[in-house]
Amino acid sequence: MEKVSKKVESKRPQSKFAEVVEEIRDIIIEDHLLPGDKLPSERELSERLAASRSSIREALRALELLGLIETKRGEGTFLRDFSNHQLIHLVGAFILQQDQTKRDVQHTKHIVEMGCLSTAMVQPNLEERLEELEAEIRKEHFTERDFFGFFMDVSGNQLLKKIWLIVSSYADAVQEEDRLVYNKGAFLRLIDAVRTKDVTNVFEAYGQLSVEES
């Protein structure tokens, strides 16, 4: 009891509206809702949070104005599909609250990228595409996102690319540094590894992307 009271004392008093917004965020985390998933109805939220329907409605309206949710007439309220990159940092602050979640996002991004590289290795005209990538990577504003986006296109799997775009956007909200900017040499070595068409070489080279060059 003493531990709980200390926690309460350390928190800044919140309005009921702010509490409801925070509790809806917690429900999104607890229910493992993803972009496109439907949120509980106003009635369900009211019962779960022991809050009035008007408070729930006000909180949902605020979240919708922020672009975090959208209401479809006759269908319900849904977590937004965040295709607009400008919203991603806001989403990251809203959803990615736990360290384990952050690690899971990064891990998932790495799995998708390594899967893409494995798929790209068996595509026709690989050498021609790799030469094209080598020319692009030397341009000043070429980024890590451009690099893996290129390989996603080479792989020819558009579903994989869509999954990667969502996951990598969330990952960028957690870790904003661009590995290609400070370690371009490692990305060039990864291209050489893909040329060998040896999965072991590719995965070893991928693992070096986060190691800064001296």
Domain 2-81 sits in CATH 1.10.10.10: yes
Give the three-class secondary structure for 48.
helix
Give the C-alpha separation, 147 to 120, whole Å. 13
**Local structure of residue 38 (DSSP, 8 states):** B
Which part of the chain has CATH 1.10.10.10?
2-81
Query: Domain spanning 99-207: which superfamily?
Result: GntR ligand-binding domain-like (1.20.120.530)
Q: In Å, how far are 2, 8, 11, 47 from 5, measured between CA atoms?
A: 5, 5, 10, 26
pLDDT averaged over the chain? 80
pTM, rounded to two decimals: 0.55
pLDDT digits (tens, 9 = 90+) for 106-155: 888 999 999 999 999 999 899 999 999 999 998 878 889 899 999 999 99
DSSP per-residue codes, 91-105: HHHHH--SHHHHHHH
Which part of the chain has CATH 1.20.120.530?
99-207
Reply yes or no on whether the pLDDT at 180 is more than 90.
no
| Contact criterion met (CB below 8 Å) for 152 and 161 | yes
pLDDT digits (tens, 9 = 90+) for 154-173: 998 888 888 888 788 777 76
pLDDT digits (tens, 9 = 90+) for 15-40: 566 788 888 888 888 888 888 899 99
Give, in degrees to the nearest 5, the angle at Cα 196 between 195 and 198.
125
Stretch 51-69: mean pLDDT? 82
Reply yes or no on whether the pLDDT at 99 is more than 80.
no
